[in-house]
Amino acid sequence: MSEGEPNHDPLIGATLGGLYHVERLLGVGGMGRVYEATHTHLGKAYAVKVLPEGRADKPDATERFLREAKAATRIEHEHIVKIINFDSDDAHRLFIVMELLEGENLADRIDRGALPVDDAIEIAKQTGSALQAAHDAGIVHRDLKPENVFITQRHGRDFVKVLDFGISKFKNPEHGDPKLTATDQIVGTPLYISPELARGIATVDHRTDIYALGVIMYEMITGSPPFTGENHFQLLYKHGNEAPDPPSQRSKKASIPPHVESAVLCALEKNPADRFDSMNDFVAALEGSKAPRRTGTFAIPLLATAILAGVAFILWPSAAPQELPEPPILAQPAVTEKSEGPAETSQIEPAVERVKVEVDSRPGRAFVAVNGDKQGRTPLTLELERGVEATVRFSLQGYRAQEHRLVPSEDDALVVRLKKKSRPKPPTIKTEF
């Protein structure tokens, strides 16, 4: 039988610290085995996480174990698992006592398929609330993944509990900061790792958790993470260098609202400065109450701005002429002369109906032109005439320009991925031996 089977687990039936009688195994992870245990005096059931034998004598493992307990108790939020006790017994076994939860982790929920968008937003909202509290307390989780998001029920509704702050980062780090995961690879889990962690940057902030929640939200609404690979190295490279496909291109079940897609893609920006300022902002954008925006700003002097604008005007490529006639511009009511009748009559043309199209690009800050007229840089909102074809052109230095012809009928969104211009290959030098 496997290692995880209770019949061969020596802790089943043991009493940890003289107080917690171990009943059954609940789960196994890289940093511990979790059991259901009953308090011998109170008769109440708890979840007890025990550091595996062989790791208790490793300073980085014990530090990570202690860090998990300290981080969770320091935050005290309803969506973070409650820590009851941290102790060791006569057998030198380290264990953490937590509230016992009934339900499933988010990974098991996603395994059954993509979630309805509203359900995914609610889970992200509760998870983001917990992490916002952690960030306010100066703690970055750094290992957020579906396995660490537990879904229980409260009043008949999903209720989230965030688990495992074992590799969390404190604003004022203590000595002995662990650098390895259970697989001895790198801080964080490769499927959900932020670009800065993938590149091995030592100093990270709360925006690394925003990226991870963006990956989780992407997976919830599409059924698969934005990046996959045959090994950790491929995943690290993709997180650090490749732009994700828009979720709407991956979704097989239902349409994804434009504001949700924009929010997810903003959270997945490679540069932390281009993501949301906070978890609260990310959640607000998912709910449609806040438009995604990049936090990175450019303080350019007025003269430099004028010079750049002039260069952009000179280099701006002209769009192909349109076959359709331009819509009439109504400067004043149109007067129609009639051949019969004693007097002239006038009639007002009907108002032009317009729709809004949210446009964005990967990478961002691409120039946008509509029918040859410059509109600005992405992301931005275009107001186009309903039912009239328009050509939207994206261009960015170093990337191939793209044109998209639209006949808008309702409010919509357009996100494009620009491809880098190919560089000439160096000549091949053949060497004979």
Question: Is omega for the bond preceding 52 within 30 degrees of 0, making it cis?
Answer: no
Q: What is the mean pLDDT of the chain?
A: 78
Query: 199 vs 39, which has greater pLDDT?
Result: 39
Angle made by CA atoms 82, 84, 86, in degrees to the nearest 5: 120
In this structure, which amino acid lies at residue 414?
A: L
pLDDT tens across 223-246, in order?
999 999 888 889 999 999 999 999
What are the φ/ψ torsions at residue 159 (nearest 5 degrees)?
-135, 125
Name the one residue in this structure whose structure tokens are 């359709």. 324
* Catalytic, out of 143, 164, 209, 274: 143
Element (H, E) at 280: helix 279-286
Query: 67 vs 364, which has greater pLDDT?
Result: 364
Confidence band of 179 (pLDDT split at 50, 70, 90): very low
Domain architecture of the chain: domains with CATH = 6-98 (3.30.200.20), 104-286 (1.10.510.10), 352-419 (2.60.40.10)
Measured distance CA(195)–CA(244) in Å, rounded: 12
pTM comes to 0.64
Give the model's pLDDT for residue 72.
74
Confidence band of 51 (pLDDT split at 50, 70, 90): confident
Q: Is 118 assigned a catalytic role?
A: no
DSSP 99: -
Query: 398 vs 162, which has greater pLDDT?
Result: 162
Give the model's pLDDT for residue 314.
30
Q: Looking at the DSSP assignment, which residues form a beta bridge with residue 47?
A: 36, 98
User: In this structure, are residues 138 and 132 in contact, taking their beta carbons and an 8 Å threshold?
Assistant: no
Give the model's pLDDT for residue 304.
36
User: In this structure, are residues 49 and 101 in contact, taking their beta carbons and an 8 Å threshold?
Assistant: no
